[in-house]
Amino acid sequence: MVVSTFNGSTPLSYSNGTTISLSTFSLNSFVNVEKGDPVAFRPYWEKVRGECAVEIKGDECMSYFGDTNNLCWYMVPQMRDAILRLHNVVGNAVTKDKFLVLGTGSSQLYQALLYALSSSEPSDHPINIVAAAPYYSEYKDATDILQSRLFQWTGDAVLYDKDEPYIEVVTSPNNPDGTLRIPVVNSGARGKVIYDLAYYWPQYSPINYEADHDVMLFTFSKCTGHAGSRIGWAFVKDIEVAKKMIRFIHLNSIGVSKESQIRAAKIIGVICDGYQYLKSIESDHLFFDYCKRLMKERWEKFKGAIEQSKVFTLTKYPTSYCHFNKDLSEQYPAFAWLKCVEGIEDGERYLEKLKIRTRGGERFGVDAKYVRISMIGTDDEFIELCTRLSNAKIE
Ligand code: PMP
């Protein structure tokens, strides 16, 4: 397979036969693996760019409304159908008897859920929001910024011992450490759970069960890599919760961009067509197969670099049966979660000296010995990251 180059720079061969650009990094420039911008899958989309093109004419997509017969009135029917079809192809979630709520990214849906799952009346006791550490750093920030009287960030779910209602956010596979998770709060209090399944797609994790929870979040960003479209969705069992979320999104952004919905529906359609009609062709043409191979190859290179450096240890992941790939499969998380060996107390600062920008453990509710590294940046970035990591030595 031939993949076009990035930024017009010189192509270089990559061990799986793909081509990449020559490194544009100078010794003084930073490799920024701090954010989780999912551009790694761009070479796939370059191959099928024509098939994914959409044309929107001047008189189209003008209304605030997408489908007045749907509870989620701003969602266009193509978007709804595409999401249901995708889950049907992948088998990662039970969608029957649930309400589908569309959001401007799952970030918006997270805040919509905080509102929808809290009591309707402000009280002296805002509901406690918890997640087991290390947790996705944006949950805390997205909760705190609202300074709400309905809910408050309370921190690590493992430590929660209050006799007060709570909402636990369970991210599985987890950001930052890739672990598969279940709720952990061990208190007699009344609790609700938000399952954030942003990374429960075959390129990152074996699909070992069909998730069937009362509240589940998904995002187009991490599924296909099209983070810029800002499309996320929630499956919600309780109609009252769904209605409150839709009211929040009404007041927050009066729905979700129709242009984004149409593009996302088209792209999802291309993925599903591949699996439903073109299975006989080379698996490199199938989106999840291509991406899983890319992630596997990256993880192998990355583990090699970490072993060579002897400065960090890595989380170990179990192998399990993937119903989508019909084989035993490892996990290839979107982030690597590193722990420094004895003698290095601050991983982010240590890597900063090697000109590698990461996000330190404290942002995720644990100590500074840990750092998170994005595994889904450009090939250029990734190769330079491995080179710099393999040269790391204890001072
Ligand atoms: N949940 C998790 C666990 C994430 O990692 C991210 C993106 N980094 C999001 C939600 C937000 O995704 P979106 O782009 O849909 O807002």
Nearest to 224 by CA among 290, 163, 149, 145: 290
**Distance between Cα 199 and ligand 1 center (Å):** 9
Mean pLDDT of the chain: 92
Give start-end residues of each CATH 3.40.640.10 domain in the chain.
77-275
pLDDT digits (tens, 9 = 90+) for 40-86: 999 999 999 999 999 999 999 999 999 999 999 999 999 999 999 99
Per-residue confidence (pLDDT) for residue 19, from 0 to 100 = 46
Which atom of ligand 1 is found nearest the CA of 105?
Answer: 15
Give the C-alpha separation, 299 to 163, whole Å: 43
Per-residue confidence (pLDDT) for residue 83, from 0 to 100 = 98
146, two tokens: 């609202």
- pLDDT category of residue 15 using cuts at 50, 70 and 90: very low
| Radius of gyration in angstroms for the set of CA atoms belonging to the chain, rounded to a whole number | 21
pLDDT digits (tens, 9 = 90+) for 117-154: 998 877 778 999 999 999 999 999 999 999 999 999 99
List, chain by chain if needed, residues with CB within 6 Å of any ligand 1 atom. 36, 105-107, 136, 171, 175, 196, 198, 219, 221, 227, 232
DSSP of 245-294: HHHHHHHHHSS--HHHHHHHHHHHHHHHHHHHH-TTS-GGGSHHHHHHHH
Give start-end residues of each CATH 3.90.1150.10 domain in the chain.
12-46+283-390
Question: Which residue is closest in CA terms to ligand 1's atom 8?
Answer: 36
Site to probe by mutation for ligand 1, drawn from 219, 249, 252, 253 as the one with most ligand atoms within 8 Å of Cβ, is 219
**Rounded mean pLDDT of 78-106?**
98
Which atom of ligand 1 is found nearest the CA of 174?
Answer: 3
**Rounded mean pLDDT of 25-54?**
93
pLDDT(174) > 70: yes
**Distance between Cα 376 and ligand 1 center (Å):** 13
**Rounded mean pLDDT of 94-121?**
96
**Rounded mean pLDDT of 373-395?**
92
- pLDDT category of residue 5 using cuts at 50, 70 and 90: very low
pLDDT(18) > 70: no
Which atom of ligand 1 is found nearest the CA of 334?
Answer: 5
Backbone region of residue 222 per phi and psi (left: phi > 0; alpha: psi in -120 to 50; beta: other values): alpha
Question: Which residue is closest in CA terms to ligand 1's atom 4?
Answer: 198
**Distance between Cα 198 and ligand 1 center (Å):** 6
Per-residue confidence (pLDDT) for residue 120, from 0 to 100 = 82
**Distance between Cα 278 and ligand 1 center (Å):** 30
pLDDT digits (tens, 9 = 90+) for 176-209: 999 999 999 998 889 999 999 999 999 999 999 9
pLDDT digits (tens, 9 = 90+) for 233-242: 999 999 999 9
- pLDDT category of residue 281 using cuts at 50, 70 and 90: low
77-275 domain in CATH 3.20.20.70? Answer: no
Give the C-alpha separation, 156 to 27, whole Å: 39
- Just give the CATH number of 12-46+283-390: 3.90.1150.10
Angle, alpha carbons 343-27-334 (nearest 5°)? 65
**Distance between Cα 222 and ligand 1 center (Å):** 7
Q: Which of 12-26, 116-130, 146-160, 267-281 has the lowest mean pLDDT?
A: 12-26
**Rounded mean pLDDT of 312-340?**
95
- Percent of the chain at pLDDT > 90 equals 85
Per-residue confidence (pLDDT) for residue 285, from 0 to 100 = 87
**Distance between Cα 106 and ligand 1 center (Å):** 6
Give the range with max mean pLDDT: 4-18, 43-57, 281-295.
43-57
pLDDT(343) > 60: yes
**Distance between Cα 37 and ligand 1 center (Å):** 10
Q: Strand order of the sheet with strand 335-340?
A: 312-314, 335-340, 370-374, 359-360
In sign, the C-alpha dihedral spanning 231, 236, 239, 245 is negative
Looking at the DSSP assignment, which residues form a beta bridge with residue 170?
195
Strand, coil or helix: 348 = helix
pLDDT(6) > 60: no
Which atom of ligand 1 is found nearest the CA of 232?
Answer: 15
Q: Say if residues 282 and 365 touch (Cβ distance below 8 Å).
A: no
- Percent of the chain at pLDDT > 70 equals 92
**Does 261 or 283 have the greater pLDDT score?**
261
Give the C-alpha separation, 249 to 231, whole Å: 13
Alpha helices in 131-257 (DSSP H): 137-144, 220-224, 239-253
Backbone region of residue 225 per phi and psi (left: phi > 0; alpha: psi in -120 to 50; beta: other values): left
Per-residue confidence (pLDDT) for residue 292, from 0 to 100 = 97
Which atom of ligand 1 is found nearest the CA of 227?
Answer: 14
Which atom of ligand 1 is found nearest the CA of 106?
Answer: 15
**Distance between Cα 162 and ligand 1 center (Å):** 28
CA atoms within 13 A on the CB side of 180: 17
Site to probe by mutation for ligand 1, drawn from 37, 108, 135, 136 as the one with most ligand atoms within 8 Å of Cβ, is 136
Per-residue confidence (pLDDT) for residue 12, from 0 to 100 = 39
Q: Say if residues 214 and 234 touch (Cβ distance below 8 Å).
A: no
Residue type, 99: F
Per-residue confidence (pLDDT) for residue 113, from 0 to 100 = 98
Strand, coil or helix: 126 = coil
**Distance between Cα 316 and ligand 1 center (Å):** 23
CA atoms within 13 A on the CB side of 360: 13
Question: Which residue is closest in CA terms to ligand 1's atom 5?
Answer: 175
341, two tokens: 């060996």
